[in-house]
Structure 1
Amino acid sequence: MAESEKRRDVFKLSRDWLSVQEVVDTVSSASCGAISVFIGTTREDKVGGRKVIGLEYEAYEPMAQSEFRKLCDDIRERWPTVTHVCVHHRLGWVKVGEASVAMAISSPHRQDGQQAIQHCITQLKAHIPLWKKEVYDTQETSWKENAECWWAAHNKSPPDTDTQL
């Protein structure tokens, strides 16, 4: 990373359609040879004979920003060459086929960025206070927990401090 370049960590919650190009542009750097990208989309799924037609997202925004800061610190500790991190996540209604989350991480070489992007999405689902409600073709709804959340199962205990953000 060039001495004059300051690391950027950007987390944006938005009710608007996500721009993958905006996320990529945010992490672009002349000192990086790799930009790793993850796009999570709302998928059509069958649940109990009902078809998912979309998701409704909510967040506790101040805590989400705080947890994102911890996540970036964790990423930089594990992969010191990571230069920039950008995550945009939708709130509100997201229909099937649309992006719910778009994230990009830049690094001088691909391996660190690819490992960091996988870690980023897993930890985002586990620690960032975002909630999703499935909406079905029957107009019924159901709140869903991410399997990665340590509190999702009653008999799970919190993660070790080595893996906790």
Structure 2
Amino acid sequence: MMSPDVIPADTWVELTHDELPIAAIYEWALDPAAGAVVLFSGTVRDHAEHRTGVTQLVYEAYESEVAPRLAGIAAEMRQRWPSVRKAALLHRVGMLGLTESSVVVAASAPHRDAAFEAARFGIDTLKATVPIWKQEHHDAGTDWGLQSQPIAQVPQS
């Protein structure tokens, strides 16, 4: 697998405090050889497991670990689906309100199956392996997200 320290031009990984540029990510993922672009955007919703009245989320991250892990996921996407043309994995930190995007994963490929599968792998692996945590503000108080998972390694094929 490629070293995550060297991020190729066809890979966009980022951790940011800024609003995620959904349209720009989609435009970047376009490629003349790709007939499919799949873009997943995870947004802040008004409820969580056993919690109602969620008003905002605050994301924190082990920042120095995020980009290398995102790059590793992108490399694994390409290893599993070699036809992937472009791969993007971006996550936001800080305070986010309802309907704001907290995470975006995009994959472009010549055919939709590879694009869908690579994007699904990207978001699932990001959620399971990248050290990012969320604090939920809801009608009963403030808690760390119940869906938090222990940090794992990127699965190897």
For 2:51 and 2:112, the matched residues in 1 are separated by 42
CA displacement 1:95-153 (0-9 Å, x = unmatched): 11111112211111111000111111100000011110001235x21112536x3x38x
Q: How many residues align?
A: 150
Residues 76 and 156 in structure 2, CA contact (< 8 A), matched pair in contact too: no
Task: Report the CA distance shift for 1:144/1:32 in structure 2 as closer, same or farther (over 3 A).
Answer: same
Structure 2: tracts of 5 or more residues without a match: 1-7
Structure 1: tracts of 5 or more residues without a match: 1-5, 153-157
* Structure 1 residue aligned with 2:119: 117
Task: Report the CA distance shift for 1:46/1:103 in structure 2 as closer, same or farther (over 3 A).
Answer: closer
The structure number with the bigger radius of gyration is 1
Residues 46 and 52 in structure 2, CA contact (< 8 A), matched pair in contact too: no
* Structure 2 residue aligned with 1:92: 94
CA displacement 1:61-108 (0-9 Å, x = unmatched): 221111112111211111010011112211101111111112211111
Residues 13 and 88 in structure 1, CA contact (< 8 A), matched pair in contact too: yes
Q: CA deviation at 1:11?
A: 1.0
Residues 125 and 146 in structure 1, CA contact (< 8 A), matched pair in contact too: no
Q: Percent identity?
A: 30
* Structure 1 residue aligned with 2:17: 15
For 2:70 and 2:89, the matched residues in 1 are separated by 9
* Structure 2 residue aligned with 1:141: 142
Moved over 4 A (4+): 46-50
How do 1:12-161 residues align onto structure 2 when only pairs under 5 Å count?
A: 12-45=14-47, 50-138=52-140, 140-146=141-147, 149=149, 151=150
